[in-house]
Structure 1
């Protein structure tokens, strides 16, 4: 859905469902390996690397 180059990392917002998206930060080791908006991707990570935040319905700005 969205990608940002942040120097040493790439930040991606990955659409999971119509309501849900996931923010992913990945090391920017390989310039040619960057994904384009609309690419289908497969995500995996160790459970201990996860951080889940509650949606408190707060403002976005």
Structure 2
């Protein structure tokens, strides 16, 4: 089975293997930005702030 890995991928894999604390920091930072749970009140606020879509996006107003 042929599994090509670019030089960049090999470097990153080796770097993360040699520096496991970086992998932990990546997970912590991901939790800050992406793994956020919104309360029902926040979700309703976002839904209320959404603008209606135009039927054709490229039509000038």
Short-chain TM bin: under 0.3
Higher relative contact order (CA 8 A, sep 6+): 1
Give the structure with the higher percent strand. 1
Q: Which has the higher helix share?
A: 2
Q: Which has the larger radius of gyration?
A: 2
**TM-score in terms of structure 2 length:** 0.20
TM-score (norm 1): 0.20
